[in-house]
Amino acid sequence: MEGQHNKLVRIFVGGLGESITKQDLHSLLSSFGNVEAVETIRTKGRSFAYLDFLPSPTDDKSLSRLFSKYNGCVWKGGKLKLEKVKEHYLVRLKRQWDEDAMSKIEHVSDKPATTDKLEKKPTKESLKTKQLYIYFPRLRKVTY
């Protein structure tokens, strides 16, 4: 968790109480860094959230301090469980599309302007040197 003070981190916050709002989470965790986005999910008897967190640029250990302080603590009727998770799938998908587009652009620009080998038509001499053998099983014959 150390050394990631300038990278956006996605955090799962589980065990939220029913009365907790996005604003509550934002105000609770903003002392350790910048909370970019909060996404809460509520189902029958379960409440959890995903948040995009940018650790404080001045404090290298702000992310580890956040986890040590709030992971397992009881807050507003729920026992918090914090975990570091993968980035949001839509963000990852967009990044991969952009990388693929850039690699295709680079690949096209690396090709030579003329492709003589592909455009060259076979000559009569080159066709004479190549032989094609076809075997007909019923005739038990090979034709050239």
- Specify the pLDDT at position 102: 87
What CATH number does residue 72 fall under? 3.30.70.330
**Average confidence (pLDDT) over 78-88:** 91
For residue 36, what are the domain limits?
9-87
CA angle (66, 72, 77) in 5-degree steps:
110
Number of domains in the chain: 1
Judged against a pLDDT cut of 70, whether residue 6 lies above it is answered with: no
C-beta of residue 60 within 8 angstroms of C-beta of residue 2: yes
Assigned domain for 41 exists: yes
Q: Is the dihedral of CA 71, 76, 79, 85 positive or negative?
A: negative
* DSSP assignment string, 113-133: S--HHHHPPPPHHHHHH----
Assigned domain for 49 exists: yes
Flag the least confident range among 11-15, 39-43, 78-82, 88-92. 88-92
The string of pLDDT tens digits covering residues 25-75 is 999 998 888 999 999 999 888 899 999 999 888 888 888 899 999 999 998
Assigned domain for 59 exists: yes
Assigned domain for 19 exists: yes
pTM, full prediction = 0.62
- Specify the pLDDT at position 125: 66
- Specify the pLDDT at position 12: 95
What average pLDDT does the chain have?
Answer: 80
Assigned domain for 42 exists: yes
Assigned domain for 111 exists: no
> What percent of the chain is modeled with pLDDT above 90?
33
Assigned domain for 117 exists: no
Judged against a pLDDT cut of 80, whether residue 3 lies above it is answered with: no
Highest mean pLDDT among 5-9, 93-97, 112-116, 121-125 belongs to 93-97
What number of CA atoms fall less than 13 Å from residue 140's CA on the CB side? 0
Assigned domain for 94 exists: no
